[in-house]
C-alpha cells in the first residue's frame, strides 16, 4: 500500500512528465509560426531564440508575390473538397448495401474488397501513373480526385457504422412504400452522421496532406498542391538562398485549416480512427465474413 | 467504440435487396475495379517486363528481380528501411503506450487539454513538418543543437552526416507518428472495464502488477494492430526522407520507396519499379504475418 505522500509525488511527476512531452510536441509548431515572422538570418541565429525581434509580415508578402501560393491553396481546397464530399457518399451507399441488404454475390464481393486492404499503395503506384498518362489525366484535377473517391477503408468504416441501423426501421419504411433510395437518403444517411463525419475528416486530412501522388502526377507550378508546392520551394531556389522564411509562412498557412478542423472535430476524428483500427483487425477473421 | 455495436436482434438479419443493392455498390465497385484491382494486376504482370511507357513492353522474365538484387544501392536502402522499421517498432510502440497510459491516468490534470495538444501533430502535413525540422535540426543554429550545446554536447550534424542522417529522419517520423499510436492505445485502454482494475486493486495488486497482468493482456489486439500499422508505415516511408534529406548524403538515409521512385519512376523504368513494389509488398506482408503469428501465439499460451 502506498502512503498518501508517495501518491502525491507520483501524481506530481506524472503531471510534469506529461507537461514536458506536451512542450516537445508543441515546440515545432510554435517554432514554425514564430519563424514565419523572422528573416532568414534571424531564423538561423545562434543561440536559437523563439521570439522574433519584430512581427514582420514581409515573408507572407513575398510568399504571395513570389510564388503561386494562393493558387496552390485554392488547388488544395478544391481537390480536398471533392474527395471529402464524394467519399462519404459513395462509401455510405456501398457500406450500407453490404451491411443491411442481401444480394447474390455479396459475400464474394466483400471478400474481394476485404483482401485488397493488405495491398499497399506503392504496388498500384506505377500502373496507376501509366493509366493516368494513357487517359491523358496527368496534370489535371481528375488525377487528384477520381482515383481517390472510393477508398477501401471507407467501405469498412461505413459498413461498420451501418450495422447499428435497426433493420426493423428499414422494413417499416419499405412497408410504407418508400423507395430504396429514399430509405437510404432519409433514414440510413442521418443515422450514419457520426461515421460520415469521421470519414470525411480522415479523407480531408489525407487529401490535404498527400505528397507522393501529387509529386508524380502534377507538373505545372500552377497545378501544385500545398505540400508539393512548399517542398518544391527549396529545390526551386537552387543557386539562390533557400527562402526559409517564406517556407515557414507557407507551412503555417497550410497547417491552420487542419489544426482548426482538428480542434473543432477531434471527437469524430478519433472515433473514426479507432473504428478503422477495429475493422482492420477484423482482417484476421477473413474466413468469417458475414 | 462499443457504441456502434448493434443489438443482435436488429443486426442479425438483412433485407432482401432485389436489384437496388447493385445500384448502391456499382459506383464504388466501378472505381475500385478501375483504380485498384486493375493496377494491382497490371503491377504483377509489369514486374516481368521492361517498359518505359512508349512502344511495346518487352518480356524479360525475372531479370528485373535479378538486376534489383545485385544492385548494392538496393541493399543499402533495404538496410536503411530495416533500420527505420526496427527503430519504430522498438522505440515508438513502448513510447506510444506510455504516452497513452499517462494521458489516460486519473491523476492527470487537464486531461482533455493535454490530449488535444498531444494529438495535433497527426493533422499537420509531412511537408510542413519536415520543413520546420530542417531548421530545428540544422547543425549550426538548430534548436536541438542549441539545447545540446547548453549541456556541453554537439553540435551534431543531424541531416548532413552519413552516420546521423537516419537518426535525424527518425526523430521527425517519431514526432509525427507517436501521437497516432497513442490515439490507438488510448482507445484500447478506455475499452478495458474499470471494474477489472478496481477488483485487482482490492486484491492488493500494485500498479505495475496490474499493468502486466490486466492491462497488457487485454491490450494485445491493439498492440498487434499498432505493430502491423507501424511496420507497414515504416516500410513505405517516403515523404519525410524525401523532403528532409532526399535520401542523402550518398543514400545514407534513403528508403526502398525512394529507390522505387527515383530508379523506376523518374527514369521511366516501369517494369523495374513494379519489381521493387512486388518485393516491398512481399516483405511487408511476411513481416506483418510473422507479427500476427507471434502475438497470436501469445494468446494460445495464455488461454490454454
SS3 content of chain A, % helix, strand, coil (to 5): 80, 0, 20
Q: What's the rounded mean pLDDT across residues A250-270?
A: 90
- Which burial class, exposed, middle or buried, applies to A220 when counting CB atoms under 10 A from its CB (0-12, 13-18, 19+)? exposed
What residues pair up with B49 in beta bridges, in sequence order? B59
Which set of grid coordinates corresponds to residue B207? Answer: 500498479
Please give the average per-residue pLDDT across B35-41, as a whole number. 89
**Per residue in B159-190, pLDDT tens?**
888 989 999 999 999 999 999 899 889 988 88
Report CB contact under 8 Å: B120, A212.
no
- Give yes or no for residue B28 having a pLDDT over 90: yes
Q: Is the peptide bond before A18 cis (omega within 30 degrees of 0)?
A: no
User: Does the pLDDT at position A128 exceed 60?
Assistant: yes
Query: Which residues from chain B sit within 8 angstroms of residue A209, using beta carbons?
Result: 123-127
3-state secondary structure B211-240: HHHHHHHHHHHHHHHHHHHHHHHHHCCCHH
Q: Round to whole Å and give the CA distance between B87 and B174.
A: 9
Spell out the long-range contacts of B245-248 with Cβ–Cβ below 8 A and sequence spacing 24 or more.
B245/B159, B245/B165, B245/B168, B245/B169, B247/B77, B248/B165
Predicted confidence (pLDDT) per residue in A20-58, tens digit: 999 999 999 999 999 999 888 888 887 788 888 888 899
Residue with cell 517486363: B49
∠ CA A104-A107-A110, nearest 5°, is: 115
Q: Quick one: DSSP state of residue B54?
A: S
B75, pLDDT greater than 50: yes
B/e letters for A35-55, b = 16+ CB within 10 Å, e = fewer, are bbbbbbebbbeeebeeebeee
Q: Report the range of poorest mean pLDDT among B26-30, B66-70, B126-130, B215-219.
A: B215-219
> For A180-209, what is each residue's pLDDT tens digit?
999 999 999 999 988 898 899 889 999 999
Yes or no, beta carbons of A274 and B4 under 8 Å apart: no
Tell whether pTM > 0.90. no
Q: What is the mean pLDDT of residues B111-123?
A: 90
| Chosen from A126, A138, A182, A276 to mutate, greatest number of chain B CBs within 10 A | A126
Q: What's the whole-number mean pLDDT along residues A99-117?
A: 87
- What are B207-248's pLDDT values in tens digits? 888 888 888 888 888 888 889 889 888 998 999 999 999 888
**C-alpha to C-alpha distance for B248 and B244, rounded to whole angstroms:** 9
Own/partner pairs, B300-303, CB within 8 angstroms, 24+ separation = B302/B217
**Nearest Cα residue to B227 out of B131, B128, B294:** B294
Cell readout for A252 is: 503555417
Mutation pick from A10, A123, A203 vs chain B, by most beta carbons of B within 10 Å, is A123
Q: Which of B281, B39, B46 is nearest to A120 (CA)?
A: B281
Asked if B121's CB is within 8 angstroms of A25's CB, the reply is yes
Q: Give the pLDDT confidence of A148-159 residue by residue, as tens digits.
A: 998 888 998 899
For A115, nearest residue in chain B (alpha carbons): B37
Q: How confident is the model at residue A236 (pLDDT cuts 50, 70, 90)?
A: low
Residue A279: the pLDDT is 56
Count of alpha carbons within 13 angstroms of residue A42, beta-carbon side: 18
Amino acid at each position: 500500500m502506498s502512503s498518501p505522500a508517495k501518491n502525491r509525488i507520483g501524481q506530481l511527476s506524472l503531471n510534469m512528465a506529461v507537461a514536458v512531452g506536451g512542450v516537445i510536441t508543441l515546440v515545432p509548431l510554435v517554432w514554425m509560426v514564430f519563424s514565419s515572422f523572422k528573416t532568414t538570418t534571424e531564423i538561423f541565429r545562434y543561440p536559437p531564440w523563439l521570439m522574433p525581434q519584430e512581427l514582420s509580415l514581409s515573408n507572407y508578402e513575398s510568399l504571395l508575390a513570389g510564388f503561386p501560393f494562393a493558387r496552390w491553396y485554392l488547388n488544395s481546397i478544391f481537390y480536398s473538397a471533392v474527395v471529402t464530399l464524394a467519399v462519404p457518399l459513395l462509401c455510405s451507399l456501398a457500406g450500407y448495401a453490404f451491411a443491411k441488404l442481401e444480394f447474390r454475390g455479396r459475400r464474394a464481393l466483400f471478400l474481394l474488397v476485404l483482401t485488397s486492404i493488405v495491398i499497399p499503395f506503392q504496388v498500384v503506384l506505377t500502373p496507376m501513373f501509366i493509366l493516368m498518362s494513357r487517359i491523358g489525366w496527368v496534370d489535371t484535377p481528375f488525377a487528384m480526385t477520381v482515383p481517390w473517391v472510393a477508398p477501401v477503408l471507407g467501405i469498412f468504416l461505413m459498413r461498420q457504422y451501418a450495422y447499428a441501423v435497426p433493420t426493423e426501421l428499414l422494413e417499416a419504411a419499405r412497408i410504407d412504400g418508400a423507395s430504396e433510395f429514399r430509405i437510404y437518403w432519409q433514414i440510413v444517411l442521418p443515422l450514419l452522421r457520426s461515421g460520415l463525419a469521421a470519414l470525411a475528416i480522415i479523407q480531408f486530412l489525407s487529401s490535404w496532406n498527400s505528397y507522393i501522388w501529387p509529386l508524380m502526377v502534377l507538373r505545372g507550378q500552377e497545378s501544385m498542391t500545398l505540400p508539393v508546392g512548399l517542398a518544391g520551394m527549396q529545390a526551386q531556389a537552387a543557386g539562390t538562398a533557400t527562402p526559409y522564411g517564406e517556407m515557414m509562412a507557407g507551412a503555417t498557412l497550410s497547417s491552420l485549416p487542419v489544426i482548426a478542423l482538428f480542434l473543432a472535430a477531434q471527437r469524430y476524428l478519433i472515433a473514426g480512427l479507432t473504428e478503422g483500427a477495429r475493422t482492420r483487425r477484423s482482417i484476421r477473421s477473413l474466413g468469417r465474413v458475414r | 467504440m462499443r457504441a456502434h455495436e448493434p443489438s443482435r436482434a436488429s443486426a442479425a438479419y438483412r433485407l432482401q435487396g432485389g436489384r437496388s443493392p447493385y445500384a448502391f455498390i456499382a459506383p464504388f465497385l466501378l472505381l475500385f475495379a478501375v483504380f485498384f484491382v486493375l493496377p494491382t494486376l497490371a503491377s504483377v504482370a509489369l514486374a516481368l517486363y521492361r517498359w518505359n511507357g512508349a512502344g511495346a513492353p518487352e518480356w524479360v522474365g525475372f531479370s528485373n528481380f535479378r538486376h534489383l538484387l545485385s544492385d548494392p544501392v538496393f541493399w543499402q536502402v533495404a538496410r536503411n528501411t530495416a533500420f527505420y522499421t526496427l527503430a519504430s517498432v522498438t522505440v515508438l510502440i513502448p513510447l506510444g503506450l506510455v504516452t497513452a497510459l499517462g494521458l489516460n491516468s486519473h491523476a492527470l490534470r487537464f486531461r482533455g487539454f493535454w490530449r488535444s495538444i498531444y494529438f495535433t501533430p497527426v493533422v499537420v502535413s509531412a511537408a510542413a513538418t519536415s520543413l520546420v525540422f530542417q531548421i530545428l535540426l540544422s547543425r549550426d543554429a538548430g534548436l536541438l543543437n542549441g539545447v545540446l550545446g547548453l549541456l556541453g554536447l554537439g553540435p551534431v550534424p543531424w541531416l548532413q552526416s552519413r552516420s546521423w542522417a537516419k537518426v535525424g529522419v527518425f526523430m521527425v517520423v517519431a514526432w509525427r507518428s507517436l501521437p497516432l499510436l497513442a490515439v490507438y492505445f488510448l482507445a484500447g485502454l478506455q475499452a478495458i472495464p474499470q471494474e477489472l482494475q478496481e477488483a485487482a486493486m482490492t486484491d492488493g495488486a500494485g500498479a505495475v502488477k496490474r499493468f502486466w497482468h490486466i492491462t497488457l493482456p487485454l491490450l494485445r489486439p491493439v498492440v498487434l494492430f499498432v505493430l502491423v500499422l507501424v511496420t507497414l508505415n515504416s516500410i513505405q516511408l517516403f515523404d519525410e526522407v524525401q523532403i528532409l534529406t532526399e535520401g542523402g548524403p550518398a543514400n545514407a538515409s534513403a528508403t526502398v520507396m525512394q529507390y522505387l521512385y527515383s530508379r523506376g519512376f523518374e527514369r521511366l523504368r516501369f517494369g523495374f519499379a513494379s519489381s521493387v513494389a512486388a518485393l516491398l509488398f512481399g516483405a511487408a506482408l511476411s513481416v506483418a504475418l510473422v507479427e500476427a503469428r507471434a502475438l497470436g501465439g501469445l494468446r494460445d499460451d495464455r488461454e490454454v
